[in-house]
Structures are given as structure tokens and as C-alpha cells.
Amino acid sequence: MLTTRLLICLGIAALSTPALSAQFFIIQDSKTNRCTIEERPPAPWDPNAVVVGDGAYGDRGTAEFDMRRIAACAGNQQQQQIDR
């Protein structure tokens, strides 16, 4: 009986472990209108940093894909083309 409960608890813990992994946020600096992908949300005392997009992303690739599609971050693509 104890073994069964232990296995159930381990199974639940194994399923919830991916939810504890890194999260990515698309942060826009309102002064420069540049977007970056960060692993932490912006500090509450920084009025220039704004989260854009759907909030927290589970992987960096999805965040990068959405950043390309967000109109507020379109200036990043133009600036990157100029920089090259």
C-alpha cells in the first residue's frame, strides 16, 4: 500500500516537472521599441519594460516565432536588416 502511494506521487511529480522548466517572455523597451526575449519577467519598478505577446512561453523557439509576428516588434526586423 505504501509502495503504491509512493509510485502515484512519483508519477504525478514526473508529469508536473516540465511545467517547472524555464519560461520565456517577450519584453519591449518602450524607449527604443526594441523587443528581446528574456527568461524573467520585467521588474515591476522598470516602467520602460513591457511584456508583449501571450505572456510566458514554454520554449524559446515559440517566443521567437511570435516575436516576428507581433506588430510592435516589427522594428526589430527592420533594424536587423540595417545592421547587416
Tens digits of per-residue pLDDT, 9-41? 556 655 555 555 678 999 988 888 888 899 988
The Cα 82–Cα 69 span in angstroms is 19
Distance in angstroms (rounded) separating the CA atoms of residues 42 and 49: 6
With CA atoms as reference, report the closest residue to 33 among 83, 69, 78.
Answer: 78
8, pLDDT greater than 60: yes
The verdict on pTM exceeding 0.85 is: no
All three cell numbers of 20:
517547472
Are 37 and 49 in contact by the 8 Å Cβ rule? The answer is: no
Digit-coded pLDDT (tens) for 40-55: 888 888 888 888 887 8
Give, rounded to a whole angstrom, the gap between the first and last alpha carbons of the chain.
65
